[in-house]
Amino acid sequence: MHRTGNRFLILLCLTLLLAVGGGAIPALAITADGVQQPGEYTHETAFAGGDFRVYWEIEGDTLNMALVVRSAGWVAIGFSPTVKMKDADMVIGWVTREGAVTILDAYSLAETGSNHPADTDLGGSDDLLTKTGSRPLVWTTLEFSRKLSTGDRYDAVIPAEGNLPVIWAYGANDNWGNVHLVRGSGTLAMAGGTSSERTAPVLWPYHAILMAIGFLLALLAVAQIFGGKGKGWFTRHRTFGLAGGGVLIIGLILGILNVQLSNGIHLRVPHTWVGLAAILFTLAVLWLGLRWLGLRDAARKKTLRPFHLWLARLDALLIIAAIVLGLFAAGILS
């Protein structure tokens, strides 16, 4: 009877608590542990087809936010930019393989590029109250919080209601100065949890594929010269050479378009300089080859041929260097 009475009292207390609370079940409390739990945040939205997910909750005068991104590299979100990236209040972070978390309170000084130093480097303050993160497999999670209005000139005032303009991006590795893989912009409906989105097209993979194909065709053209010169070697040499040059030029055009649509800053990294030199050499090799073909004077053809061959060798080295530097720029090699 004594145990039965205790159980009855416990059930009675639980019933009274539910009655007082209107039967409501409290939401999962936000914990700054670097892991986004289902139901932890009131609002959520997704960009890039779900690859960049934003979760947020406003508690009094504080914004709690989590970014869950399909990337093993740096992740960034910017609030209230004016033109492109300019004047954006940015949060940039990454998690190393060992689990070390870095999250920066930063500010974008320019419309494009990597000119977004930490607020503290500009004379401002680091106003992020919590900074946690994790990186399971290829997903990076960052959690942070800050006051809606910090008083720092390099921080945007976050509205509790209405639309908040945002920009976002992520990279392939932890070097946040590297070019992003994907970027976009949109708005967050702070009280409603909906969003709008504008994502920039990503052309660099097609650029890389075309450059690799063009290089292989160029190698096949060279192989016809040093492969014994069997029957039909010159026709194959010319065909492979023209095809390779054409593919390389198309790849260059896609590379230029990718930079223009991405950050608009051309010739910013060594890969672009070496790549441009490789394309110029490719055009020179093609021109010399066609010029040699059109000559009738055997002596002039004999004089021109070594220049054509040596330019082709130098061009091959430049293309290899451009491909390797491109892999570094994309974060595939580090």
Closest CA to 168 of 50, 86, 94, 85: 85
128 CB contacts (<8 Å, ≥6 apart)?
91, 103, 105, 144, 145, 146
* Percent of the chain surpassing pLDDT 70: 81
How confident is the model at residue 200, as a pLDDT?
61
> Could you tell me the CA-to-CA distances from 16 to 9, 12, 20, 21, 124 in Å, in that order?
11, 6, 6, 9, 51
User: Can you give the pLDDT at residue 112?
Assistant: 73
Q: pLDDT tens digits for 22-37?
A: 433 344 567 777 788 8
More confident residue, 231 or 125: 125
pLDDT at residue number 194: 67
The pLDDT of residue 15 is: 43
Do residues 154 and 315 make contact, with C-beta atoms less than 8 angstroms apart? Answer: no
Task: Name the residue with higher pLDDT: 179 or 64.
Answer: 64
pLDDT of 88 reads 95
Average pLDDT, the chain: 82
Q: What is the mean pLDDT of residues 141-162?
A: 95
Tokens of 326: 């491109």
pLDDT exceeds cutoff 80 at 285: yes
Q: How confident is the model at residue 142 (pLDDT cuts 50, 70, 90)?
A: very high
Predicted pLDDT of residue 306: 86
- Span 298-317, average pLDDT: 84
pLDDT winner (highest mean) among 125-129, 174-178, 283-287: 125-129
Question: Distance between CA 168 and CA 88 in Å, rounded?
Answer: 10
pLDDT, average across residues 109-114: 78
- Give 49's contacts (C-beta < 8 A, 6+ positions apart): none
Q: Are strands 101-107 and 182-189 parallel, antiparallel or unpaired?
A: unpaired
Q: How far apart are CA 333 and CA 250, in angstroms?
A: 24
Residue among 222, 85, 111 at smallest CA distance from 167: 85
**Spatial CA neighbour of 87 closest among 154, 141, 150:** 154
Nearest to 249 by CA among 217, 222, 273, 214: 214
CATH numeric code, 43-199: 2.60.40.1210
For residue 42, CA distances in Å to 32, 143, 162, 190, 251 come to 15, 14, 16, 10, 45
Extents of the domains making up the chain: 43-199, 204-329
3-state SS assignment for residue 116: coil
The domain defined by 204-329 carries CATH number 1.20.120.530: no
C-alpha distances out from residue 85 to 80, 113, 284, 327, Å: 9, 8, 39, 25
Condensed to tens digits (0 to 9), the pLDDT of residues 171-182 reads 888 777 666 678
The residue ranking higher by pLDDT, 8 or 91, is: 91
Q: Which residue would you say has higher pLDDT here, 241 or 103?
A: 103
